[in-house]
Amino acid sequence: MLSIILSCFIITSTPFMPLSVATTDDALAVYSNPAGLGISHGFNLYYLHNFSNNESFWDKSTFVGQVGALGFAYSDLHDFRLSLGSKITEGVYFGTTFRKYSSKHFWDAGILYRPIRQLSLGTTVQSIGQKVNNHYVVGIGFRPWSNRYTLTCDASLDSANWKKPAFGLELEPINGIEIKAKINTKGDYSIQAGISLEKFGIGTIKTNFTIPWGGYVRLNSEKRRTFVRPPKRFLEMKLSGSIADQKPGFSLLGSSVNMTTYEVLNTIKKAKEDKSIIGLIIKIDEPSMGFGLAQEIKSALKDFKNSNKKLIIYASQLSNIGYYIASNADEIIIHPLGEVVIPGITARSMHLKRAMDKLGVEADYERVGKYKSAPEIFSEDTLSEPDREAINSMLDDYYEQITKTIAQDRNLSQLEVDSLINHGFFLASEAKASKLVNQLCYEDELDSILGKNYKGFRKITSLHYMNDKDYEYNWCDLPKIAIIYATGDITQGESGTDILMGGISCGANSIVTAIREARKDKNVKAIILRVDSPGGDGFASDLIWRELSIAKNTKPVIVSMGPVAASGGYYISMMADKIFASPATITGSIGVFSMKFITKELYSKLGINYETIKRGEHADAFSQDRKFTDDERALFQKQIQDFYYQFINKVAQGRHLTPEYVDSVGQGRVWTGNQAYQRKLVDSLGGLMNAIDYAKGEVKIKEVKLDFMPKPKTGLFNLTLNWIKTRIKNNF
């Protein structure tokens, strides 16, 4: 029977397939080396059939399958195998197999080592712990040119005697044509030839020994190479809800982040490079994102369209951000009862001074930088002139960026765009008449309309498209680029998620640990710090800056600024080898302030009285009962002045500027990314994908694996664990 034929030539392989303990890493590793299952190639299932005897269908059949790291094989009731593989460290895998043959049980184990992309080493030992002699197999795989051509050599050891080695060749001369052959010095051979159609394979096996003829059918979840061109199709993608760099952890109100920045951008890039994708259908449903992130998405869509592919936008209605993203589409289609709302841009500033006066609360602060306006929310009734100047400057720049883009995309003059924005609100029919959109239709009519315009129209959703993973042929893990997310207010301690609202904080300990791990990981060739933070704790910011400055001495450090990278967000960015910012990124704010609230009057209104007994003249300096004394104010002003001077000197050092120049563009002033680029505070205008491409160029590597850090901690278990850790730290 198929399941009980053994041969020195095939070693531990299936009875007639030319496998190797060093190269087999899908379901068939159950028969060669279970360590190969540690590669975890998703799901794949083989059906093997022996055409060479007259036994029943089931006696001539073998089923071999894999689900992740778990594998199994079944051939009638006499032969059953269950295997498990695991990744030990980079390039090292271990696996074990339980074998049941008739009424006997055996354990096997194997190791797979892939130090470089050209070399793979494997070894197995069978019948561990049995009275019979253990059976050892060693093998080597070598790829002198590419992953399409593999040379193998396997040898086995029984009773201290090496058996004649078997030499193999595995090749795929053209996509989807798979050929494997193996021959030993005795002249026994096995040849396998088949074709692959992405997720389906079929082939035949010929040997010159016990089973001269057989065949196989393979099903697999990962796409393998194929000589058959996939059908042309459109990719349908939806932009809705909140889009942000990171998905928050557990919160009582839940997360509203539907897709991350990278998921959106990578989907568009993958579709651009995929020859089977001829167009994108983007359904816009009031997505929530900053202008800077919208620019990154629009840039990716423009790049997609420039590759000679179609871009279709559908929406029930379009507002400022949605229309900005949609404006360069080949066709913009909206609901017949929809609308386009583009009334321009505005900035609102809230001031709480009178409310605080009524409550009996006063803000007492010191600052460095005339534009460092954050404390003015609590101390002023209206915008100060420096703050008004900075906001107007940013609005002018944003307005120019938006109107110029729309004018170019829709083939309109600047005056026409100004007029449209001043009108602001358009019913669907008015939007079409004004050339803001191309067509009107209900959503259920969209496919029919596209079918008439594009012959043979078919589509795939982004969910299915991104879950459609490619089979990894390379042996060694790809070199890595670490992308470290610095999202939210910068604080001391660990990063976390607000348990009620779901907001993310950027904890210095978490970011420093991630940078250190990336620096020490030899397979990480470059570090990208993705910053979306308005700043926060100065000391915490300096800890991150310090760790980045150390990492910079060992490998390239690149910063990609998201929607906001201001104050502390700029502080942690300034030491990078290269800083990318979107034209609309909010950055700068090089300044410092320190503030406390005086609540004595409020407590008095509530009938609460505090008495202070102290030792030391300034022991109660940060008390909420009183304002700073003149001496204390001078001391604190000196401290924050010193921090400011360190800030501008570090900017000068990192950006190769003079401290005097940095001070002139500092003073707490916030700039757009476009303005910051003009003032040499950033190096280049671009988003996350531009930073990734630049990092690849710096390390001269085309194919990389992205390692996103720090790893998110989600769920109630981690929340409880972090709470326990905090309690222990605070009490011991």
Annotated catalytic residue within 163, 309, 372, 525: 372
DSSP 349: -
User: Who contacts 238 (Cβ-Cβ below 8 Å, separation ≥6)?
Assistant: 282, 283, 285, 462
Angle at the Cα of 704 from the Cα atoms of 228 and 65, rounded to 5 degrees: 50
Q: Is 664 annotated as catalytic? A: no
Angle separating helix axes 261-273 and 688-699, nearest 10 degrees: 70
User: Who contacts 39 (Cβ-Cβ below 8 Å, separation ≥6)?
Assistant: 25, 26, 85, 87, 93, 472
Q: Which helix (H) or strand (E) holds 390?
A: helix 385-409
Determine the Cα–Cα distance for residues 131 and 70; give it in Å rounded to an integer.
Answer: 28
Could you tell me the two tokens for 660?
A: 């005097």
Written as one string, the DSSP assignment of 171-209 is E-SSTTEEEEEEEETTS-EEEEEEEE-SSEEEEEEEESS
User: Who contacts 333 (Cβ-Cβ below 8 Å, separation ≥6)?
Assistant: 312, 313, 314, 315, 437, 438, 439, 440, 441, 446, 449
Determine the Cα–Cα distance for residues 296 and 275; give it in Å rounded to an integer.
Answer: 23
490 phi and psi, to 5 degrees? -80, 125
Strand partners, 244: 260
3-state SS, residue 41: coil
- Total count of residues recorded for the chain: 732
Q: Is 413 annotated as catalytic? A: no
Q: What single-letter amino acid sits at 726?
A: T
Written as one string, the DSSP assignment of 498-525 is -TTT--EEEEHHHHHHHHHHHHH-TTEE
| Cβ 3 vs Cβ 50: under 8 Å | no
| Cβ 617 vs Cβ 628: under 8 Å | no
Alpha-carbon separation of residue 11 from 33, 138, 668 (angstroms): 11, 10, 72
Determine the Cα–Cα distance for residues 398 and 395; give it in Å rounded to an integer.
Answer: 5
User: Who contacts 72 (Cβ-Cβ below 8 Å, separation ≥6)?
Assistant: 30, 64, 65, 66, 80, 81, 82, 83
Q: What single-letter amino acid sits at 209?
A: F
Annotated catalytic residue within 567, 573, 582, 589: 567
Q: Within a 10 A sphere around the Cβ of 725, how many other Cβ atoms?
A: 11
Determine the Cα–Cα distance for residues 60 and 3; give it in Å rounded to an integer.
Answer: 8
Strand partners, 109: 96, 125
Active site residues: 372, 567
